[in-house]
Chains A and B, each alone.
Chain A
Amino acid sequence: MDWLFVTMPIAGVEIFWPGLVILGFGVGMIGGFFGMGGGWMVTPGLNILGFPMAFAIGTDIAQMAGPSLISTARHARFGNVDYRLGGIMVVGTVGGFEAGAQLIMWLERIGKVDIYVRSGYLVLLSLIAWLVFTDVAKKMRKDREARAAGREVDALSTGIEWHKTLHKIRIPPVIHFKKAGVRCSAWLPILVSFFTGLMAGILGIGGGLIRMPALIYLVGCPTHIAVGTDLFEVAISGLYGAASYSYKGRTELVAAVIMLVGASIGAQIGSVATKYVKGYGIRIFFGIAVIGCAVSILFKIIAAAYPGVRAFFNGAATVLILGLVAALALYIFMKFLNGVRAERAEKKRAMSQVAL
Chain B
Amino acid sequence: MGARAWLGRMGVPAAVLTVLAGNVFAAGGGGEMIVIVADSRKFSGLEAWSANLYNESHAYFALLTVLTIPLLGLLLGTLTGLLMRLLGINLKSRVLAEH
Contact = CB atoms under 8 A, between A and B. Distances in A.
A240 B23 CA distance: 11
A278 B94 CA distance: 11
Interface stretch (A100-108, A182-190, A292-300, A324-332): A100-108
B99 to A, nearest CB: 5
A78 B80 CA distance: 16
Interface string B8-45: 01100110011011011101111110001011101100
Contacts of A105: 27-29
B79 A264 contact: yes
Q: Contact residue range for chain B?
A: 35 or more
A77 B6 CA distance: 11
A70 B50 contact: no
Contacts of B80: 70, 264-265, 267-268
Nearest to A62: B65
Nearest to B15: A239
Contact of A79 (B18, B83, B93): B93
A239 B6 contact: no
Interface string B79-98: 11101100111111111111
Given A9-B38, A10-B38, A94 B17 contact: yes
Contacts of B96: 224, 275-279
A344 B47 contact: no
A112 interface: no
Nearest to B76: A264
A10 B48 CA distance: 10
Contact of A274 (B81, B89, B94): B94
A256 interface: yes
Interface residues of A, number: 76
A79, A244, A253, most chain B CB atoms within 10 A:
A244
Contacts of A256: 65, 69
B92 to A, nearest CB: 5
Interface stretch (A40-48, A120-128, A150-158, A165-173): A150-158
B59 A12 contact: no
Contacts of B90: 343
B18 A240 contact: yes
A246 B65 contact: yes
Nearest to B25: A247
19 contacts: A9-B51, A10-B54, A63-B69, A72-B10, A73-B6, A78-B94, A90-B13, A90-B17, A242-B62, A242-B66, A245-B31, A246-B64, A246-B66, A247-B21, A248-B25, A248-B30, A249-B31, A254-B50, A344-B89
Given A69-B74, A90-B13, A223-B99, 5 more contacts: A12-B39, A246-B58, A246-B66, A260-B73, A264-B80
Interface of B: 1, 6, 9-10, 13-14, 17-18, 20-21, 23-25, 27-32, 36, 38-40, 42-43, 47-48, 50-51, 54, 58-59, 61-66, 68-70, 72-74, 76-77, 79-81, 83-84, 87-99
Interface of A: 7, 9-10, 12, 54, 58, 62-63, 65-67, 69-70, 72-74, 76-80, 83, 87, 90, 94, 98, 101-102, 104-105, 155-158, 204, 222-224, 235-240, 242-251, 253-254, 256-257, 260-261, 264-265, 267-268, 272, 274-280, 340, 343-344, 347
